[in-house]
Amino acid sequence: MATHTHGLGCRLLRSGVPAPSGRHVLGRVAFLDHHSAPAIHAGVAGVGVHLAKDENDLVTEVWETDSPVTSGMYQDLAYAHDGDYLFCAGQVAGTGSYREPVRHAYRAAFDLIAKLDYPNVLRIWHFINDINRANADGLEIYRDFCLGRAEAVDGLPGRAGDMPAATGIGSLGGGISWYLLASRTGRVRNLENPRQVPAPSYPHRYGPRPPKFARATSFTPDGLDGAGDLFVAGTASILGHRTVHAGDVEKQCDVTFGNMATVIGRENLLANGIDDSRTLKDLRFVKVYVRHEEDVPVVAAKCEEAFSDTAEIAYFTVDICRSDLLVEIEGIAP
């Protein structure tokens, strides 16, 4: 992604039909006004995530690579790989309890990762319908999801349980849609944020098992130095483990920007042994999740100021994993 003409590349498109780029499509994630199951269409692995209110709001994220890909289905997962990178997408149908099916889906993905030999997981996204509602047992669905994920990760051997940057956010339908990227080679370093308690160490008040993800993941291809591509996890107005500025979306944006800047900034990279630095202006492929539609204009104005003019930014109106969070933002700093 360092140049976007070699290695793993991303495109964020306003329409459903991407113009050909001459590269190979590793995976396609369509953010639609409905969900569609993981599948292979014309050889391309993809999934449809229900994240748009209507058809004027569609966005497609395309992952591209240098070499021809082989795609297929494994259990209910759609995947593609090219010898360097793996894309894998799944959907867990809506249910009264996600714990068991999420554990199962995660195990299937990690089986596939092992079988195809892409041991470095770079980034995971999860889109969870009714994320703040109670499941059949009265447990909040996000906490139910976290329980299944934590149990799946518990059993993984060696480094496989080291979870990368992730997003866990609401969606408008379709149970849980999710996808991940992994690599065969290169160096993966998961980063924490000194301003925030690591999510896996959140106290019990946030659920029976904590969220398992890192604040950012640095992926440096073989032969290169520095931070490589920095995948910044979904980031919100959390300091320590507490939400700050409940009810104030502008202040929540400022804390979120501060958290993102800190995790990719020089000091944090150096503390992780990476002699490199990034700022908010380096972020590309930014996804902004806003709880209330009426807050989108003010959040967009803040984001346009914080991020580069050339950053691709997509806005979605969805619920966020804590009821008091009004905004969450992710991005990639190549």
- Name which of 233 and 332 has its Cβ closer to ligand 3EB: 233
Long-range residue pairs from 260-266, CB within 8 A, at least 24 positions apart, any chain: 260/232, 260/235, 260/329, 260/331, 262/193, 262/194, 262/195, 263/191, 263/192, 263/193, 263/215, 263/216, 263/232, 263/235, 264/216, 264/227, 264/230, 264/232, 264/333
**Contact status: 98 vs ligand 3EB (CB under 6 A):** no
**Contact status: 168 vs ligand 3EB (CB under 6 A):** yes
Q: Which stretch binds ligand 3EB (CB under 6 A): 4-12, 19-27, 60-68, 228-236?
A: 228-236
**Contact status: 207 vs ligand 3EB (CB under 6 A):** no
19-58: contacts with ligand 3EB (CB under 6 A): none
Measured CA to CA, the distance from residue 311 to residue 219 in angstroms comes to 20
Catalytic residues, which ones?
328
The distance of closest approach from Cβ of residue 318 to ligand 3EB in the complex, given in angstroms and rounded to an integer, is 12
First to last CA, the chain: 6
105-134: contacts with ligand 3EB (CB under 6 A): 126
The distance of closest approach from Cβ of residue 166 to ligand 3EB in the complex, given in angstroms and rounded to an integer, is 4
Measured CA to CA, the distance from residue 158 to residue 326 in angstroms comes to 36
Tokens 């497609």, residue located: 60
**Contact status: 101 vs ligand 3EB (CB under 6 A):** no
CB 80 within 8 A of CB 181: no
The distance of closest approach from Cβ of residue 231 to ligand 3EB in the complex, given in angstroms and rounded to an integer, is 11
**Contact status: 252 vs ligand 3EB (CB under 6 A):** no
CB 328 within 8 A of CB 320: yes
**Contact status: 331 vs ligand 3EB (CB under 6 A):** no
- Name which of 166 and 326 has its Cβ closer to ligand 3EB: 166
- Residue 295 buriedness (CB in 10 A; 0-12 / 13-18 / 19+): middle
Rg (Cα) of the chain, in Å, rounded? 18
The only residue of 321, 329, 332, 333 in contact with ligand 3EB, by rule CB under 6 A: 321
**Contact status: 316 vs ligand 3EB (CB under 6 A):** no
The distance of closest approach from Cβ of residue 321 to ligand 3EB in the complex, given in angstroms and rounded to an integer, is 4
- Name which of 81 and 99 has its Cβ closer to ligand 3EB: 99
The only residue of 26, 32, 188, 199 in contact with ligand 3EB, by rule CB under 6 A: 199
Measured CA to CA, the distance from residue 327 to residue 320 in angstroms comes to 7
**Burial track 71-98 (b if 16+ CB lie within 10 A, e otherwise):** beeeebbbbbbbbbbbbbbbbbebbeeb
- Name which of 127 and 307 has its Cβ closer to ligand 3EB: 127
**Contact status: 210 vs ligand 3EB (CB under 6 A):** no
**Contact status: 238 vs ligand 3EB (CB under 6 A):** yes
The distance of closest approach from Cβ of residue 202 to ligand 3EB in the complex, given in angstroms and rounded to an integer, is 7
Provide the strand spans (E) within 3-68: 9-13, 24-32, 36-41, 44-50, 59-65
The distance of closest approach from Cβ of residue 131 to ligand 3EB in the complex, given in angstroms and rounded to an integer, is 10
Tokens 């950012």, residue located: 216
Q: Which stretch binds ligand 3EB (CB under 6 A): 53-61, 82-90, 232-240, 276-284?
A: 232-240
- Name which of 77 and 327 has its Cβ closer to ligand 3EB: 327
CB 221 within 8 A of CB 186: yes
